[in-house]
Amino acid sequence: MRWVTVAQTYGITQATIIVGRLRAEGVPARAWQEGAGQATGLIFGKLGTGHVVVPESFEDQAREILADTLDDDIWDEEE
């Protein structure tokens, strides 16, 4: 199975949150960060980058999910 990167973040924490969102939508996903960056707690630069990967067959679905944003109108209590 070939895995493709669908998001890059500042550190592993943000990547892990994105993985949770994708998994909740039924998309298998993994988060990873270079070992040295994770061990030292880096959140910037090449070693600090968090990566979110999904199987190639789920790439389009994952990108759609990540592109969705909440509509500000849902927070309007007047409706």
pLDDT tens digits for 37-79?
555 555 555 666 889 999 999 999 999 999 884 443 444 444 4
Per the structure, the complete domain to which residue 14 belongs is given by: 3-68
43 versus 22: which is more confidently predicted?
22
Number of domains forming the structure of the chain: 1
Residue 52 lies in a domain: yes
CATH number at residue 56: 3.30.70
Rounded CA gap, 73 and 59, in Å?
Answer: 29
Nearest to 6 by CA among 24, 28, 34: 28
Rounded CA gap, 18 and 22, in Å?
Answer: 6
Residue 38 lies in a domain: yes
Q: Give the global pTM.
A: 0.73
Residue 79 lies in a domain: no
